[in-house]
Structure 1
C-alpha cells in the first residue's frame, strides 16, 4: 500500500488554499499597510476567497462552511475562536501530510537497502524539485536523467536506471521538463516499485521493475562559486577549465548525451565524440549524430560535470569561537553570521544560553523568517529553549 498518492497531495494543497492572518496584531498591521498604500483590503480578500471557495467546499470541515458561505473566513470580523480553530485545522493537515512524507521516506530507505550503493546514495538526499532532462528506453530498460540544480541534492545530475520494467502506469506519459515533487520506493515480491508525483503537468507515475541502478555527477566547486558570485555568464570556457582540478575526471552531459572528457584545450577533447565551439553555437558529434546548441541559450560551462564532490560551502562550517558567536549571529557580516548559526546548530546543548539570547534579541523579517524558522525548530526539538523564546517562536515551529 502506497503512502503517497495524487489524492493525498491534492487534499493537502486544498487545505492550504486560503491563508488567513493569525493574530489581532497581524490584522492591525495588514490594515495599516493597506491604508498606507491606498489598497481596498476587504475587497481583495473577498476576491481571494471567491477564487478558492469551490475547492474549499470539498475539504473544509462542516463547522467552517457558514463562514465560507458568508465570506468572512478570511476577514477581520471572523470570531477569534473560529480563527484559532481554522488555523489549528490547517496546521493539523500539514502535520498529517508531513507524517505521510516521513513514512514514504522511511519506506524508500528500507527498499533502497536492497539495491546498489549508488541508489542508496541518491535516496539519502532529496530529489524534490529535480527536473527530468532526458528519457531513454532500451528494450525493457528505462533511463531517466534528472537535473537537480533547482533542487536540494549535492548530486547535480542523476541517471536512474530501471531494469526489466514490468509495468508502468501514469495519468500522462513521462515528459522532459517535469518536476519531481514527491516520491516513494517500495520493495515488492517481484522486485521494486517506484512512484513519483510530478508537477508541470500534475501527474502520478508508478513503475515496477526487477531492479534499479543509478549514476550521478557533481558540479565542479568552481561552478557553484562563480554562480553565487554571478560571474558564470562572463566566464569563457577556456578560463573556466583552467580553474578546474586537473586530477579529476570530467564528463560533458547535455540534454541529449553524455561523453567522457579526455582533455581540455581551447575546445574539449571528448573520449568518444567531437566538440566544436563556434561564435554562436557549439556542436557535439557522437555516433554520427550532431547536436547543436545555441550559445544564447546554452553555456558550455553548464555541461561539464565531475564524479568528485567538493563542498563549495565548507568554509561556512568553520566554527566561530564561543565568545564571538552572539555578536556574529546578530551582526551584518553575512559569512560570519552563517558560520555562527551553523556553530549553534551543531552544538545546541553546549550553547543553549547563547542560543536563547540570540533568538530573543533577533528581529524577525520577511527576509530571515524562513532561516530563523529552520534554526528555531531545530533548537526547539533539541529541548534547550526557554519558555519566553518558545512563546515568541511558537508559530514558526514545524
Structure 2
C-alpha cells in the first residue's frame, strides 16, 4: 500500500499509546489510586503496555526518547516537563504528517476518479472499517468473491458481498478469512482498478487488480 501501509498503522498505534499520557500530576495520581482500588498496579500495567509496543516506539520515536523507552521511565513515572515537551512535539508533527498524507491521497484519488469503474467509486463511499471476512472464494480464474460481516462495522449493512470480475492479479500473503478490514486504497489500472486493503488478524496487505466489481449489501 502506498499510503495506509503496515508502517503507517504501527505509527498510529504509537500515537495512540502516547495519547494515554496523563496531562497533570492529579490525573496521574488518580489513575494510580483507581487501579489500586481494583487490585491492580497502574505503573506495572503501563510497563507491560510499553513492552508490547516497545519495538515500534524505538522505530518511530526520535533517539532523544530512546533512553526513556529502554529504562521504562517513559511511563513508570509522571513525565517531566522536558519529556512532555518532546512527546507533544512528536505528536504535533505526527498529526500534521497524517493530515498531509490524507490530503495527498484524496487529491490523487479525486484526480483519477473518472478513470475508475463506477462500482468501485461507489464502494469507496462505504466505510468497510472493522468489517469481518466471513469467507472468500475464487469460483473462476477471473473472479474473486469476498463475503463480509458488517455488524461491527461503520456502515448500514449487516453483510456485504464483493465480487471482483476480470481479475488480473491477486496478492494475498495469508488466508484472510476471519480478518478485519482496516483501511483501503484504490488506483486506476488499464483496464479497471488496483485495490489494496490492510487487514488485521492476520495483519497483511492485500492487493487485487480487476476490471470491475459488483457490490451486494444486505441492510441491517
Give me the TM-score of the superposition, normalised by structure 1. Answer: 0.48
Residue 124 of structure 1 pairs with residue 125 of structure 2: yes
Displacement of 1:177: 1.9
Which residues in structure 2 correspond to 1:49-128 (within 5 Å)?
49-97=50-98, 99-101=100-102, 103-104=104-105, 107-108=108-109, 113-115=114-116, 117-128=118-129
Displacement of 1:37: 4.4
Q: Which residue of structure 2 aligns with residue 179 of structure 1?
A: 180
Which residues in structure 2 correspond to 1:246-261 (within 5 Å)?
none
For the 8 Å contact 2:116–2:187, the answer to whether it is kept is no
From the superposition, tell whether residues 131 and 16 of structure 1 become closer, same or farther in structure 2 (CA, over 3 Å): same
1:154 to 153, 156, 178: 156
Of residues 20-29 and 58-67 in structure 1, the stretch that sits farther from structure 2 once superposed is 20-29
From the superposition, tell whether residues 50 and 195 of structure 1 become closer, same or farther in structure 2 (CA, over 3 Å): closer
Displacement of 1:150: 1.4
Q: Aligned residue pairs: how many?
A: 218
From the superposition, tell whether residues 143 and 105 of structure 1 become closer, same or farther in structure 2 (CA, over 3 Å): farther
Displacement of 1:130: 1.4
Displacement of 1:62: 0.9
Q: Deviations over 1:248-299 (max 9, x none)?
A: xxxxxxxxxxxxxxxxxxxxxxxxxxxxxxxxxxxxxxxxxxxxxxxxxxxx
Please tell me whether Structure 1 or Structure 2 has the larger radius of gyration of its CA atoms: 1
Q: Deviations over 1:290-325 (max 9, x none)?
A: xxxxxxxxxxxxxxxxxxxxxxxxxxxxxxxxxxxx
Of residues 194-203 and 101-110 in structure 1, the stretch that sits farther from structure 2 once superposed is 101-110
Residue 170 of structure 1 pairs with residue 201 of structure 2: no
Of residues 108-117 and 141-150 in structure 1, the stretch that sits farther from structure 2 once superposed is 108-117
| Partner SS state of residue 156, structure 2 | coil
Q: Aligned partners of 2:80 and 2:143: how far apart in 1?
A: 59
Displacement of 1:169: 1.6
Q: Aligned partners of 1:30 and 1:4: how far apart in 2?
A: 34
Q: Aligned partners of 2:213 and 2:35: how far apart in 1?
A: 55
From the superposition, tell whether residues 81 and 193 of structure 1 become closer, same or farther in structure 2 (CA, over 3 Å): same
- Residue ranges of structure 1 left out of the alignment (5+ in a row): 225-398
Q: Which residue of structure 2 aligns with residue 386 of structure 1?
A: none
Q: Aligned partners of 1:169 and 1:106: how far apart in 2?
A: 26
Displacement of 1:183: 0.4
From the superposition, tell whether residues 66 and 161 of structure 1 become closer, same or farther in structure 2 (CA, over 3 Å): same
Q: Which residue of structure 2 aligns with residue 13 of structure 1?
A: 13
- Residue ranges of structure 2 left out of the alignment (5+ in a row): none
Of residues 193-202 and 79-88 in structure 1, the stretch that sits farther from structure 2 once superposed is 79-88
From the superposition, tell whether residues 62 and 3 of structure 1 become closer, same or farther in structure 2 (CA, over 3 Å): same
For the 8 Å contact 1:4–1:101, the answer to whether it is kept is no
Q: Which residue of structure 1 aligns with residue 214 of structure 2?
A: 214
Question: Over aligned residues, Cα RMSD in angstroms?
Answer: 2.9
Give me the TM-score of the superposition, normalised by structure 2. Answer: 0.81
For the 8 Å contact 1:158–1:216, the answer to whether it is kept is yes
Residue 203 of structure 1 pairs with residue 208 of structure 2: no
From the superposition, tell whether residues 196 and 42 of structure 1 become closer, same or farther in structure 2 (CA, over 3 Å): closer
| Partner SS state of residue 73, structure 1 | helix
Q: Aligned partners of 2:117 and 2:189: how far apart in 1?
A: 16
Relative contact order higher in (CA < 8 Å, ≥ 6 apart)? 2
Q: Aligned partners of 1:2 and 1:50: how far apart in 2?
A: 29
Q: Aligned partners of 1:160 and 1:95: how far apart in 2?
A: 34
Q: Aligned partners of 2:103 and 2:200: how far apart in 1?
A: 20
